[in-house]
Structure 1
Amino acid sequence: MYKPTIPPTTRLTAEEATKHLNNLQKLDEEIIALLTHASSSLQSLNEPSTQSVDQAKQDFQTRASKFFAGLESVTVGLRREAKALQDADVLGSTVTTKAEWVGRQKEREAIAAAEAVLNKLNAQESD
């Protein structure tokens, strides 16, 4: 977890700015890893497998849970960094609000996509 280190309403020193940029770089790397993991998880559902449908479904649910836990961690880290930079008067006041709205919408879309995949697996299982 990334915790902002600057007190409210202060200006950033070069060292603090570097620390925040490094934190954002780490979060960027985590986002890339999450997207890669999600892509490979979904791709594995479309490839022929020696696993049973139940096992494939359980593996997907486990991977999806890990993905959403990682996504939550990244979301919290980004919000903290945005808040710290906003408090330091680096960002405008609308950045956090927009990020929260977009994040909730994207989360709903991702959950709907995951549910569609699970429904497809259930339909295949009952055939």
Structure 2
Amino acid sequence: MDEPPFPSTTPLTAEDATEHLNNLQKLDEEIIALLSHASKSLRSLNEPTTQSAEQAKQDFQTHASNFFAGLESVTIGLRKEAKALQDANVLGSTVTTKAEWVGRQKEKEGIAAAEAVLRKLKTDADD
């Protein structure tokens, strides 16, 4: 008798599947909020307003901070869901490993980009 390539350690019941779908829906909503924070942070830097450069910088920092906090939350949630689906033999074994590597790399790139923008703001404010 052939064994499945990825043995299931936790069977996926209908209730479990519904819970996972609900969790993924919540994560989808968090991703929408992430995009909103990213948009607001960029808008605070690019749109001319009556606020001071210091206020624009503060708005950017607030929205960028909210973005990265939300990104961490979504990343953790997606890893948990991927792990649960992997344990239920719904996903292959390499999905979680790749997601962690890619997520860490993208997070580093995002932080570097945000730091570059903040350095530019500081330079512009000093001039």
Q: Which category of TM-score, normalised to the shorter sequence, fits these structures?
A: 0.7 to 0.9
Quote how far apart the aligned CAs of 1:36 are: 2.1
Q: How many residues align?
A: 120
Instruction: Tell me which amino acid in the other structure corresponds to 2:67.
Output: F
Larger Rg: 2
State the match for 2:5 in structure 1.
Answer: none
State the match for 1:67 in structure 2.
Answer: 67
**Any residues of structure 2 matched to 1:42-121 within 5 Å, and which?**
42-121=42-121
* Relative contact order, higher structure (CA 8 A, sep 6+): 1
Residues 71-115 of structure 1, C-alpha deviation per residue, up to 9 Å, x if partnerless?
111111111111111111111110110000110111111111111
**What is the distance in 2 between the residues matched to 1:54 and 1:43?**
15
Instruction: Tell me which amino acid in the other structure corresponds to 2:30.
Output: E
Residues 22-54 of structure 1, C-alpha deviation per residue, up to 9 Å, x if partnerless?
211210121122012211221221111222222
Q: CA RMSD in A?
A: 1.4
**What is the distance in 2 between the residues matched to 1:76 and 1:30?**
12
**What is the distance in 2 between the residues matched to 1:62 and 1:113?**
16
State the match for 1:4 in structure 2.
Answer: none
**What is the distance in 2 between the residues matched to 1:33 and 1:48?**
23
Runs of 4+ in 1 over 4 A off after TM superposition: none
